Amino acid sequence: MKKITMALVISFIVSVVFTSMHCARMAGKGWEKTLTLPSGEVILDMRGEWDALIELLERYKWTAPKPVPNILLITQEGNTFSAVQQLEGKRFPKGTEKFKGVLDKDGFKEVQLYACRIVKFAWVPVTWEISENGNKIVFVDEDRVRWTLTRR
């Protein structure tokens, strides 16, 4: 009887482990590039170069009426990422860290943009939208600016 009970317990544990692994793989929501953290959590892999299209919105559009292209190089360590501007900009030189944030299984936990606020620069929170395949991300800083990132 003990052998049967032990076999059932082991069978149960094995099925729970495999089910958990399967659910972890599915957590990526169909993203083409993912990373699995040591905890088993699957997150978006953002590493690499991204084309960035910067659009000023609403009351700021007069300062740059046309979208401005740039390139971001994104590095990622675990669930944190940093995006560095690769082209010279009007206000920010090449090499400026523009975004930083924390990823989770649903996309992002938080993202901040390095932006100009009146006469000083500061890290400000942004909202985001991730495409189904994870290769396009839109960050919006209130009604000020929209950054559309497309994986290269």
Q: In the chain, at which residue ranges do the beta strands (DSSP E only) sit? A: 34-36, 42-44, 48-56, 68-77, 80-85, 97-104, 107-117, 120-125, 127-130, 136-141, 145-151
Closest by CA position to 45, among listed 82, 85, 23, 76: 76
| pTM, entire model | 0.78
> Minimum mean pLDDT among 2-11, 18-27, 64-73, 77-86: which range?
18-27
* pLDDT reading at 23 higher than 60: no
The confidence score (pLDDT) of residue 5 equals 60
The confidence score (pLDDT) of residue 14 equals 38
The CATH architecture of the domain made up of 42-151 is Beta Barrel (2.40)
The confidence score (pLDDT) of residue 16 equals 35
- What mean pLDDT comes out for the span 42-69? 92
Domain boundaries, the chain: 42-151
Beta-carbon neighbour count of residue 16 at 10 Å? 10
